[in-house]
Amino acid sequence: MKYCPNCATPLESRYLHGHDRPACPACGFVHYAGPKLAVGVMVSHEGKLLLSRRAIDPGKGRWSFPSGYVDLGESPSLAAVREVKEETGYEVRLNGLVGVYASPNRPVVLVVYTGEVVGGTLGDCDEVEETALFSHGALPPLAFEHDEQIVADWLAFRELGVTRGGIG
Active site residue ranges: 130
Q: What are phi and psi of 94, to 5 degrees?
A: -80, 135
Query: Rounded to whole angstroms, how far apart are CA atoms 97 and 67?
Result: 14
Would you tell me how many other CB atoms lie within 10 Å of the CB of residue 66? 28
The kind and range of the H/E element at 158 are: helix 147-159
DSSP character for 148?
A: H
- Number of alpha carbons in the 13 Å side-chain half-sphere of residue 153: 17
**Residues paired with residue 40 on neighbouring β-strands, in sequence order:** 67, 112
**Helices in 4-113 by DSSP H: which ranges?**
76-88
